[in-house]
Amino acid sequence: MTISKKIVLIGHFGVGKTSLIRRFVENTFTEDYKVTIGVHISKKTIEIPENESVSLIIWDLEGQDDIKKTRPSYLLGTNGFIYVFDLSRPATFENLESELSFLKENYPKVPTKVVGNKMDLVNKVYLSQHNDVFNTNVDYFVSAKTGSRVESLFAKLARELI
Amino acid sequence: MNQDEKLSIIKDILLTDEREFTSSIEKKIKILESLINEKRQLSTKVDPIIDDKLKEFIKEIPNTLGPTITKALKKEIANSQDAVVEALFPIIGKMIKRYVQHEMKLLSERVNNQVNKTFSFKGIFRKAKSKASGVNESDLIIQEQTNAKIEQLIIIEKGSGLVLAEFSKNKMADEDMVAGMLTAIKSFVEDAFKKENQNLQYIEYDHYHIHLQNFSSFYMAVVISGAYNVIFKDKLEDEILEFTSKQKVATLLKNKKLLTKKLEDFLKNDNI
CATH number at residue A66: 3.40.50.300
Confidence of residue A121 (pLDDT cuts 50, 70, 90): very high
Domain that holds residue A150: 2-161
pLDDT tens digits along B156-185: 999 899 999 999 988 778 899 999 999 999
Total structural domains within chain A? 1
Q: What is the pLDDT of residue A41?
A: 95
Q: What is the pLDDT of residue B119?
A: 62
Confirm whether pTM is higher than 0.90: no
Chain B positions touching A73 (Cβ under 8 A) are 159, 187-188, 190-191
Residue B220: φ, ψ to 5°: -110, 130
Mean pLDDT for all residues in chain A: 94
Assign B87 to helix, strand or coil.
helix
Q: What is the pLDDT of residue B272?
A: 62
Q: Measure CB to CB from residue B163 to each of A4, A38, A74 and give the nearest one.
A: A4
**DSSP conformation class of B239:** H
Pick from A106-120, B3-17, B242-256: least confident = B3-17
Percent pLDDT > 70 in chain A is 99
Residue B195 has pLDDT above 70, yes or no: no
Q: A71, B181: Cβ pair inside 8 Å? A: no
Assign B264 to helix, strand or coil.
helix
Mean of the pLDDT values across residues B73-100? 83
Q: What is the pLDDT of residue B10?
A: 83
Q: Measure CB to CB from residue A57 to each of B162, B187, B191 and give the nearest one.
A: B162
**DSSP conformation class of A120:** G
Pick from A120-124, B46-50, B175-179: least confident = B46-50
Which range among A75-84, B100-109, B203-212 has the greatest average pLDDT? A75-84
Pick from A28-32, A116-120, B70-74, B111-115: least confident = B111-115
Mean of the pLDDT values across residues B28-43? 82
- Interface test with chain A among B82, B157, B162, B219, by most A beta carbons within 10 Å: B162
List CB contacts of A145: < 8 A, sequence separation 6 or more. Answer: A19, A29, A118, A120
Q: B191, A73: Cβ pair inside 8 Å? A: yes
Q: What is the pLDDT of residue B196?
A: 62
pLDDT tens digits along A40-68: 999 999 998 776 899 999 999 999 999 99
Chain B positions touching A62 (Cβ under 8 A) are none
Strand partners, A47: A53
Which range among B8-17, B65-74, B123-132 has the greatest average pLDDT? B65-74
Mean of the pLDDT values across residues A116-141? 93
Q: Measure CB to CB from residue B184 to each of A4, A41, A55 and give the nearest one.
A: A41
Strands (E), B110-169: 149-157, 163-168
ipTM confidence score: 0.87
Q: What is the pLDDT of residue B107?
A: 77
Mean of the pLDDT values across residues A108-121? 96
Confidence of residue B139 (pLDDT cuts 50, 70, 90): confident
Q: What is the pLDDT of residue A151?
A: 95
Q: Between the CA of residue A45 and those of A4, A55, A137, A155, B175, what are the distances in Å? A: 9, 4, 28, 10, 14
Mean of the pLDDT values across residues B124-149? 74
Q: What is the pLDDT of residue B118?
A: 64
What residue in A sits closest to B163 (Cα-Cα)? Answer: A4
Percent pLDDT > 90 in chain B is 22
Rounded Cα distance, A99 and A116, in Å: 14
Distance (Å) from the C-alpha of residue B162 to the closest C-alpha of chain A?
7
Q: Would you list the DSSP string of B178-192? A: HHHHHHHHHHHHHHH
Q: Between the CA of residue B89 and those of B80, B83, B92, B190, B205, what are the distances in Å? A: 14, 10, 5, 35, 20
pLDDT tens digits along A89-109: 999 999 999 999 999 999 999
Residue A39 has pLDDT above 90, yes or no: yes
Q: What is the pLDDT of residue B3?
A: 84
Q: Would you list the DSSP string of B34-74? A: HHHH-HHHHHHHHHHHHHHHHHHHHHHHHHHTHHHHHHHHH
More confidently predicted of B121 and B225? B225
Residues 174-203 of B with CB under 8 A from A: 174, 176-177, 180-181, 184, 187-188, 190-191
Residue B207 has pLDDT above 90, yes or no: no
Mean of the pLDDT values across residues B215-244? 90
